[in-house]
């Protein structure tokens, strides 16, 4: 193991510090969930690992720590207990209907081709950008149906008894969305998902099989002169920074490092969601236009900057589907932020009335919790970067859930009593929801509609001045009264009321997630609440192109890059785009697990033969 440094501050170890007779170590860039899963699989085969991360040890687990812990499983024990009839066939149809793979190229089966430019061309390389992504999708859905549940539960993970129903769909059987609930929430949320993989890796560290290099930022991949194989990395050592998890840390360099003679290099560094300028640069105005949004709240920490995408590409790796991304439309400014621009996503059930910035109701089937990207496209088409939820106390208490492990203390603490008290028996909602209602900059609470609209306009004026539209009270009153008249009977022509009643046919939602249909303007369910919803950055759906072994493809799209692998979000969660255009949710953590596992198993197979 060759090591060069200009200072002892980097604390690099020499080859002699590794146990005698072991294989060359594998370098993993990124100590998030995907990197930990890769390290777990390698250390199970006694293969030494060096994990490099630009943040400190306190950030072990990366973005996954901050998640709600949702994992996509098919035909699980929890689903069957809830009376949900799911299958590989149904899940595959849902996935393909959401992904809409259309960049397959002329090496595929003729289902379609394209390079995202609208030209229908593949850049002359035969294989389209979705060539590997579609194969990853087939493999992931199969894994979710046959192995995911057992794989994570064998490591100590357990799920909440009721299965969540995310992305309820665009209203068509063959289109986007989950036909049934599949969002399995981890009991313990994101920190628990991290724990079950971090603990065995940390045990391997005690045995000398794993070494960490925190506060080391990679600037370049090192390739062998003879065959171009990835054999190492070089970069800068950053000064120590005791900033708490998620807080933006110093980028002051105190040294340089170089690490070579590795058996393989794995890129597991995440996407671009913390880098607003990178998000704007990649924004597909042809699909999500007509212009790039200017204002976002950030759903991920600042260190999720996407740097390794460019670094790997400069070394000859292929990046595909860079225009595909996943951003939410229900973002709140965090009243108690951890990182710059920190936003929290509302995970809404379907009852809130959704209005655009001018007070117009969003069209069918753009209702809360149905079709994220279709809603995003519509909002961008209005020329404004925000919308409004109008609801009441009954709806917010039952239907507002917040993303983020820190916003769900009942789940992270695994307190059954706290869970029941705050989510089943409370008329005010969880304590974090109550805090946002009291302190959140995007919340307006009033006793009647006229005062509510005045408060909404006051909020707009305080942030956007005269450039933003003024809401008309009479127009909003008409929208609300028209909606409210639809709840008088058990049948209605309003598609949102139908969606609410359909959702309540799933009995866990009828008891704990979706409020009974009622008039929003009914004072018995008050006060009235308006919430300004901001666009919130989150996930990169494209990335480094990989084959089914997580081996990165070269720029020609046909040959593998020897020794260089990628997993997690930086690889579009597999293949450079396993989701295609849209996600079904629960597939991001699941994608990190599946692609990290694939990388670890493939590298172990290459090393051990």
The pLDDT value given to residue 609: 87
Least confident among 133-147, 149-163, 451-465: 451-465
The pLDDT value given to residue 125: 56
Tell me which residue of 546, 543, 538, 540 sits closest to 595, measured CA to CA.
Answer: 546
Report the CATH architecture of 331-537: Alpha-Beta Complex (3.90)
The pLDDT value given to residue 113: 37
* C-alpha distances out from residue 338 to 64, 249, 442, 460, Å: 15, 11, 18, 25
DSSP annotation of 20 = T
| Residue matched to tokens 């840390």 | 249
What are residue 325's DSSP bridge partners?
A: 540
Tell me which residue of 283, 321, 308, 317 sits closest to 62, measured CA to CA.
Answer: 308
Determine how β-strand 264-267 pairs with β-strand 253-259. Answer: unpaired
Given a contact cutoff of 8 angstroms between Cβ atoms, the answer to whether 54 and 216 are in contact is: yes
Given a contact cutoff of 8 angstroms between Cβ atoms, the answer to whether 231 and 25 are in contact is: no
pLDDT average, residue stretch 237-249: 97
Per-residue pLDDT reduced to its tens digit, 191-214: 999 999 999 999 999 999 999 999
pLDDT bracket for residue 14 (50, 70, 90) = very low
What are residue 3's DSSP bridge partners?
A: 259
Do the domains 331-537 and 3-13+24-66+192-272+305-323+541-608 match in fold?
Answer: no
**CATH code for residues 3-13+24-66+192-272+305-323+541-608:** 3.50.50.60
Per-residue pLDDT reduced to its tens digit, 250-293: 999 999 999 999 999 999 999 999 999 999 999 999 999 899 99
Q: Quick check: 21 pLDDT over 90? A: no
pLDDT bracket for residue 427 (50, 70, 90) = very high
The pLDDT value given to residue 112: 36
The pLDDT value given to residue 100: 98
Q: What angle do CA 478, 483, 488 make, to 5 degrees?
A: 125
Percent of the chain at pLDDT exceeding 70? 93
Tell me which residue of 113, 132, 133 sits closest to 583, measured CA to CA.
Answer: 133
The pLDDT value given to residue 588: 97
| Residue matched to tokens 């089937």 | 365
Question: HSE-up of 44 (CA within 13 Å, CB side)?
Answer: 18
**Domain map of the chain by residue range?**
3-13+24-66+192-272+305-323+541-608, 70-189, 331-537
Query: CB neighbours of 196 closer than 8 A, spacing ≥ 6?
Result: 152, 155, 156, 157
Burial status of residue 314 (CB atoms within 10 A of its CB: 0-12, 13-18, 19 or more): exposed
Per-residue pLDDT reduced to its tens digit, 358-380: 999 999 999 999 999 999 999 99
Least confident among 135-149, 399-413, 460-474, 556-570: 460-474
Given a contact cutoff of 8 angstroms between Cβ atoms, the answer to whether 292 and 281 are in contact is: no
With 0.85 as the threshold, say if the pTM is over it: yes
Q: Quick check: 296 pLDDT over 90? A: yes
Given a contact cutoff of 8 angstroms between Cβ atoms, the answer to whether 293 and 281 are in contact is: no
The pLDDT value given to residue 22: 55
Q: Quick check: 108 pLDDT over 80? A: no
Tell me which residue of 374, 289, 283 sits closest to 329, measured CA to CA.
Answer: 374
Query: CB neighbours of 80 closer than 8 A, spacing ≥ 6?
Result: none
Tell me the average pLDDT of the chain: 93
Q: DSSP secondary structure string, 366-404? A: --TTT-HHHHHHHHHHTT-SEEEEEEEHHHHHHHEEE-S
Helix (H, G, I), strand (E, B) or coil at 350: coil
């Amino acid at each position: 193991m060759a090591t060069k440094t200009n200072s002892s501050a980097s604390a690099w170890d020499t080859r002699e510090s590794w146990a005698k007779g072991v294989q060359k170590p594998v370098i993993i860039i990124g100590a998030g969930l995907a990197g930990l899963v890769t390290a777990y699989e390698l250390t199970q085969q006694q293969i030494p690992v060096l994990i490099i991360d630009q943040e400190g040890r306190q950030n072990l687990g990366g973005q996954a720590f901050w998640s709600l812990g949702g994992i996509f499983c098919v035909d699980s024990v929890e689903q069957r207990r809830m009376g949900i009839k799911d299958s590989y066939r149904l899940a595959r149809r849902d996935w393909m209907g959401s992904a809409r793979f259309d960049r397959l190229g002329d090496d595929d089966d003729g289902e379609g081709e394209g390079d995202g430019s609208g030209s229908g061309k593949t850049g002359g390389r035969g294989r389209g950008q979705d060539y590997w992504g579609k194969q990853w999708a087939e493999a992931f859905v199969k894994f979710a149906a046959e192995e995911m549940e057992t794989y994570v539960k064998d490591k100590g993970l357990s799920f909440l008894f009721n299965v969540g129903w995310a992305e309820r769909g665009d209203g068509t059987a063959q289109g986007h969305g989950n036909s049934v609930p599949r969002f399995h929430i981890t009991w313990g949320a994101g920190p628990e998902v991290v724990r079950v993989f971090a603990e065995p890796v940390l045990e391997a560290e005690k045995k000398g099989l794993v070494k960490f290099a925190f506060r080391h930022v990679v600037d370049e991949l090192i390739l062998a002169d003879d065959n171009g194989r990835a054999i190492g990395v070089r970069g800068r050592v950053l000064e120590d920074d005791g900033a708490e998890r998620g807080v933006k840390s110093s980028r002051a360099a105190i040294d340089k490092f170089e690490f070579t003679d590795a058996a393989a290099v794995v890129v597991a560094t995440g996407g671009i969601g913390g880098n607003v300028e990178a998000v704007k640069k990649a924004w597909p105005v042809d699909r999500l236009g007509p212009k790039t949004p200017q204002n976002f709240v950030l759903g991920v920490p600042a260190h999720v900057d996407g740097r390794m995408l460019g670094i790997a590409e400069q070394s000859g790796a292929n990046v595909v589907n860079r225009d595909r991304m996943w951003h939410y439309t229900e973002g709140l400014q965090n009243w108690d932020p951890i990182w710059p621009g920190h936003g929290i996503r509302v995970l809404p059930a379907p009852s809130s009335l959704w209005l655009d910035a001018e007070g117009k109701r969003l069209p069918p089937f753009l209702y809360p919790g149905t079709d994220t990207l279709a809603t995003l496209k519509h909002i961008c088409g209005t020329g404004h970067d925000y919308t409004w939820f109008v609801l009441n106390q009954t709806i917010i208490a039952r239907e507002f859930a917040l993303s983020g492990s820190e916003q769900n203390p009942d789940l992270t603490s695994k307190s059954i009593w706290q869970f029941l008290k705050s989510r089943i028996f409370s008329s005010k909602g969880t304590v974090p929801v109550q805090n946002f209602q009291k302190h959140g900059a995007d919340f307006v609470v009033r006793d009647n509609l006229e005062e509510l609209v005045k408060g909404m306009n006051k909020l707009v004026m305080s942030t956007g001045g005269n450039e933003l539209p003024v809401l008309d009270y009479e127009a909003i009153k008409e929208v609300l009264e028209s909606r409210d008249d639809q709840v008088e009977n058990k049948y209605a022509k309003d598609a949102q009321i139908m969606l609410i009643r359909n959702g309540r046919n799933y009995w866990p939602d009828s008891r704990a997630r979706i409020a009974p249909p009622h008039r929003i303007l009914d004072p018995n369910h008050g006060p009235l609440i308006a919430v300004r919803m901001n666009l919130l950055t989150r996930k990169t759906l494209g990335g480094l192109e990989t084959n089914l072994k997580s081996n990165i493809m070269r720029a020609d799209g046909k040959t593998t890059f020897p020794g260089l692998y990628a997993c997690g979000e930086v690889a579009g969660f597999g293949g450079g785009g396993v989701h295609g255009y849209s996600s079904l949710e629960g597939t991001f953590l699941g994608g990190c697990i599946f692609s990290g596992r694939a990388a670890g198993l493939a590298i172990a197979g290459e090393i051990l033969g």
